[in-house]
């Protein structure tokens, strides 16, 4: 069994040198951390202990006023007012909540909201007057008309659906739409007249029909496209172009 080797003198001197070299750094860092603070758990620097907040390069005690609670944050004032109170000149004053309202956690503005079925008016909460054939919407401070009714001067008036029409969105527009093949004209649904050689187009604009390929719209009719020699229908189907190498000259196709 071999004998244990004693550390050589040079190794001991080297270790002692490293300890002496690092000691001033640790001491300097400890001296840079102010009272009531501790080193950050990540990176370098420091932060104030709980119950203290940073002011310049020191940590001062957080003075929590009445009706407030500490935030346990090292920045800011270190406290915030309890629910139902708001900060005023470094203290927490009670929020005056009107009837039919409740306090909120908002520290700015009025710090209260009207209860469901009431709306704010001049610092008070007034009951929402819901007319006949209406209901309170999800916000609780407005009303909407029932299906089949629309709002007119603060009341809900029944929607008059014409023949060949049906109930639609009553919040915008007339509250009714025409069935397929009909178009709204004034207060009626008028049938769309599709001429010969045309087909119906379900669109809210235009005549409501389109000519078949090989025909073009002329007033209320579809007239056949007359093809000259050496020509063919274009992509639209309602006009013609010359075959190559012919070129259009008025109503003919001629060689250049």
DSSP states along 142-209: -EEEPTTEEEETTEEEE--PPTTEEE--SSSTTSEEEPTTEEEETTEEEEP-PPTTEEE---SSSSSE
- Helix, strand, coil percent content, the chain, rounded in steps of 5: 10, 40, 55
The b/e string for 222-246 (b: 16+ C-beta within 10 A; e otherwise) is beebeeeeebeeeeeebebebeeeb
pTM as predicted: 0.50
Long-range CB contacts for residues 178-186, cutoff 8 Å, separation at least 24:
183/208
pLDDT at 154: 92
pLDDT at 31: 54
How far is residue 119's CA from residue 231's CA, in Å, rounded to a whole number? 72
Q: What's the token pair of residue 38?
A: 């501790």
pLDDT tens for the chain, 256 residues long, are 445 455 555 554 555 445 444 444 444 445 588 888 888 877 678 888 887 888 888 888 888 999 988 887 766 788 888 877 888 888 888 888 999 999 887 656 677 899 999 999 998 999 999 999 999 999 889 999 998 898 999 999 999 999 999 998 766 666 899 999 999 888 999 999 999 999 999 887 889 999 999 999 999 999 999 999 999 999 999 999 999 999 999 999 999 8
pLDDT at 25: 46
The length of the chain in residues reads 256
pLDDT at 119: 95
pLDDT at 24: 47
């Amino acid at each position: 069994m071999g004998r244990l080797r004693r550390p050589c003198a040079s190794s001991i001197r080297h270790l002692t040198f490293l300890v002496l070299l690092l000691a001033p750094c640790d001491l300097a860092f400890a001296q840079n951390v102010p009272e009531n603070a501790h080193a950050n758990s990540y990176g370098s620097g420091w932060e104030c202990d709980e119950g203290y907040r940073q002011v310049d390069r020191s940590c001062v005690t957080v003075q929590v006023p009445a009706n407030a609670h500490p935030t346990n944050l090292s920045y800011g004032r270190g406290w915030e007012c309890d629910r139902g109170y708001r900060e005023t000149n470094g203290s927490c004053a009670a929020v005056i909540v009107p009837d039919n309202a409740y306090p909120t956690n908002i520290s700015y503005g009025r710090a209260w909201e009207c209860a469901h079925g009431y709306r704010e008016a001049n610092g008070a909460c007034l009951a929402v007057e819901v007319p006949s054939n209406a209901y309170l919407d999800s916000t609780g401070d407005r009303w909407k008309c029932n299906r089949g009714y629309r709002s007119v001067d603060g009341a809900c008036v029944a929607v008059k659906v014409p023949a060949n029409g049906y109930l639609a969105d009553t919040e915008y527009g007339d509250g009714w739409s025409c069935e397929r093949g009909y178009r709204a004209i004034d207060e009626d649904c008028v049938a769309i007249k599709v001429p010969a050689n045309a087909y119906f187009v379900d669109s809210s604009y235009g005549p409501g029909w389109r000519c078949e390929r090989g025909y073009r719209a002329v007033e209320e009719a579809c007239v056949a496209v007359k093809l000259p020699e050496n020509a063919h229908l274009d992509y639209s189907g309602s006009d013609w172009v010359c075959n190559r190498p012919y070129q259009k000259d008025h109503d003919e196709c001629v060689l250049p």
